Structure 1
Amino acid sequence: MSAALVLPLLSAGPSATAEQPASGALQRAFAAAAAEYRVPPSVLLGVSYLQSRWDAHGGAPSVTGGYGPMHLTDAAAALARAPHHSDTGEDPRGDDARAARSGGEAELPEVSELPYRLKTLERAAALTGLPDAELRQSPAANVRGGAALLAAAQRQLGQPLSSDPADWYGAVARFSAADDTATATTYADDVYDVIRAGERRTTDSGQDVSLPADPALVPDRARAAGLGLRTADAGPAECPKTVACEWIPAPYKEFGEGDYGNHDKGDRPASQGIDYIVVHDTEATWETTLKLVQNPEYVSWQYSLRSSDGHIAQHVPLKDVAWHAGNWYINSKSVGLEHEGFLTSPDAWYTEAMYRTSARLVKYLAKRYGIPVDRQHILGHDNVPGTVTANIRGMHTDPGPYWDWAHYFELLGRPFTPTAGPDSGAVTIRPEYDGHRPLYTGCVKAGEPCAPHGSGAVRLHTAPASDAPLVKDVGLRPGGQDSTDGVNDTGARASTGQQYAVAERRGEWTAIWYLGQKAWFHNPRSRPTAVNARGLLLTPKDGAAEVPVYGRAYPEAAAYAGTSVPVQAISPLPYKLLAGQRYVVGDRAPGEYFFAPTFDTSGHRVIRGKEAYYEFQFGHRVAYVRAANVRVLAS
């Protein structure tokens, strides 16, 4: 993939061997900055928590060029790359019954066009007199910059620098840099929820930070009256009441003979169930993202989420099918969530504001459609399988190894905890995100190390040793080459929340069944990278040496009888489920195909077969197997 970030951005942070400050230094920095700029300490701590959970990320930028505990943005220093769906080798629609739909080319924004919310570090430098580099690299300086921005916002609203946190509601709302009232006030409400509840945690750099609870605090919401922001058009948007959401529709438009965009009309869930939610990142700024999804010749997704403040825009009604995952079976049964991010591929880190609104949206969708809240139904784009062998190498790798699935599922109310004893037949991958820092390469330049960073993914080896080769993925590398430590190489990677059947345990190492082979990962008792789990497993039926594996669950040929719908090929992938191996079951469903190749919806039809499939965790991506070919047993 093309470079996404100029090298100084990722190398600007302190080295991994640099002397670490005492564990209370950051708490003292918050106190000093609050006193210097006369901001209530709880307000400063609350805002910072909603930006970064007080983490410094080793000086690495966020998905939108934000630095440090206050997420001061310096996106002007970034070299943007092509947006998420602009790879002409990809078909986001993922339906080989019709011509491929490429995202096409998209113009990249000029630095001068970047909005204020992506340039707050520049403003903080002017207010504090601190150099840009220091605001990026020093957590203490970064906190000073955030305090200066809050104080300036309070003054701009004509409010005194009060010691009462309740008086700072308007300044907190302005700090979000949101351009509409609903988003700014929702952001401020979240900050005050944090202050009321209190928080305490050890940051990614070992800093102990606490915010005492203030349950009786009632902010003066009238202080937001002077913000002068627009009123977003919620229209028919389908969102929970706990988020700020607006309606920015994607066009359903015919623009050539037999060609149309950028989604399909449907009648879900009456016509077919919604079983999956797919998490993406955009690889584009918010402004570019909105331009793209409103282009009928581009592709689509249901929701976009903004990094700085968690604002949500809906583009496609939930009853309709968006083109986003590169697999038509998944598209027709899923909702796509695109999270703003454009600096690296995959991105370094995501704001707490975006995690929180995304989690609220997912909880709402899961409850509305009865979607299980687990990692075989809440998928990353990097967990969606290729439909056929030829598509495997072109499947996307976002949101990548830096998306914090453990924290995300805590916000969803479904943390990954042990559900079985030490001899269980299955495990849930669960490294400690902040302290788990496997080496990745290729964030900036192929082969060069990425900046050290927490990760929710573990490496998989061919033997119980860290110097053993990584396991192979014959779909990604038909020639049989080993997988690599490249940041976009998913061939030997298990991600937080994914569940696998245990093949063997040996000392500090655990082997799982993965892509038809034993895959070993370091799992010491003192610092485990997985927790024991129970569940259903599948294995080939007795007497079967191997079972075909599929990237989609299409109906048998007989299901098309009496219709004008062409029979869709059921093409196996180059993988095999072998005798004696076991894999964790995700779901059971009938074969299904949504026929929708024309702009005229009168011929659209859902074909549903009698033959059932199991979805299961096969490698880093999910896969499907015919139920008739396997037997199911308890772990």
Structure 2
Amino acid sequence: MNRTLGGFAAAAALSMSACGVDDSALIVRNDDTQTERFEGGQEEAELRTSATYDTVFEAAGTEFNVPPALLKSMSYALTRYEMVASEGEFDGVPGAYGVMALSPELIAEAAPLAGVTEDAAKTDVTANIRTAAAWLSKQADVQQVNREQLLSWSPVIGEYTKLEDVAGRQAFVRGEVYSSLKLGVGRFSDELEVAGKTQALEAEVGEYSEVLQGLARAPDYGAGVWRPSPNFNSRGGQRPKFVVIHTCEGAYSGCWGWLTNSRAGASAHYVVNSNGTEISQLVRESDRAWHVAADYECSRNGNQMCNLNGASSNTHSVGIEHAGFASQTTFPAGQIDASAKLVCNITKDWGIPRDRFHVVGHGQLQPWNRTDPGRNWPWSSFITKINSACGGTGGGGGGTTPPPAPGALVIDSNNSNNNQARGYVQVSANWKSSSNVAGYYGSGYWYANTAEVSDGAAFFFKLDAAGSKTIDAWWTAATDRSTATSFVAFNARGERVGAGTVNQTRNGGKWNVVGTFNFTAGWNKIVVSRWQNPGKVVIADAVRVR
């Protein structure tokens, strides 16, 4: 199969890698109050706030009048600050270079503006960042950007991707770049907060969360969202027999944004973002996605399944793309964990053995021009995690999982604990995971600072018929909690049908009645609202529908 991607669109759209390492919370413990303090997973936060190239970002930003905070957050979203040299995942993609994932076309255009050679722009970190800054500055002039307003840079960042898909551009700008900046990229973000410029970012990230909540669920994997690709055909009655692991050689949004374009001539069944918080399904597992340009040859796979020799690898496999690069030195733990759970689900549904002969790399099947997922993909621990996901149990210290009442549906804050055909939770990057305060349901909870933004934690649940349902909520109580947290009820038509207000400084570690509301058949939701005066914390732990 010919997998093509033309021109600059290919290079920029697929030369980005979203960020993240571990979605467990960074907690500062206070023995007296046990409140939440900041922000995101520890490993992720340490990487994101690393000051390694801060002087370079600052100097380039000053030279070309581009906010250093924007340069740094783009670099983190693109490459996690790694000096990548990408081979490209799709035929016709010229690759990406350096911490700013510069395409050769962008280098040719902007290296002269930065006064550096094209080779230096690829291989020297300072030249690479200065080249990106020069290009962004030129585009800011063309688009007449208000350089002092961070959100005014949105169309320039979108142009950097060269994605044709508007939704893909917005996902990268708001869901990856602005989200990273809001979570914090060290002192640059601190300076923005002091200047009072973070509220608008928080609102922008929250609005993107509302967009995500409107997407349909993935048909084969309840934890995913459905972004259908036209690029597939029938398996001809064959069942999947193995799973193929890919890297996008770029960002999550650029990956699904291109693979849902009919011009791509390529697809995958799934794309996993780099911190494991979102998975897109593009093609149904029962259909044939176009992700490997090679016929199967058992000599490349330990002489296993030799009866498939000469058949298209796509006919017999499920393909999973992962945001990132084959050349990167490590892969985020959150991404590996999420992918392992997905592979577990696939192998259980289709009766596929969970071993290295049935979970294989793209480069293993197509070694003449592909190496992904690369030599640093953690194969041993990945297979272990897959098997653990299929046979392990959830839960953790400090939490409890009481049996549900007869006829009741519990939606936990951890989607791994949910039957996602009936219920699931969805939050933006502004919400942080934690298990700091004891008394949580299951394995932990989400928390967020109060703010006047539309950025709630949404607990979705599916009803087969309309009816009146009582909603209970579970939270952990502490002194920093809001005394007036709103749980807002919406029916499947998106209409608000009521709300209940609770005091989360009290009655933690048990079910509390929120209210009784009339819902419609389909996917209804309860939203834990953040909309209050700043200074408190709201908790989204678990919701019970009965």
- TM category, shorter: 0.3 to 0.5
Q: Which has the higher helix share?
A: 2
> Which structure has the larger Rg?
1
Q: Relative contact order: is structure 1 or structure 2 higher (C-alpha 8 Å, sep ≥ 6)? A: 2
- Calculate the TM-score normalised by the size of structure 2: 0.40
- Calculate the TM-score normalised by the size of structure 1: 0.35
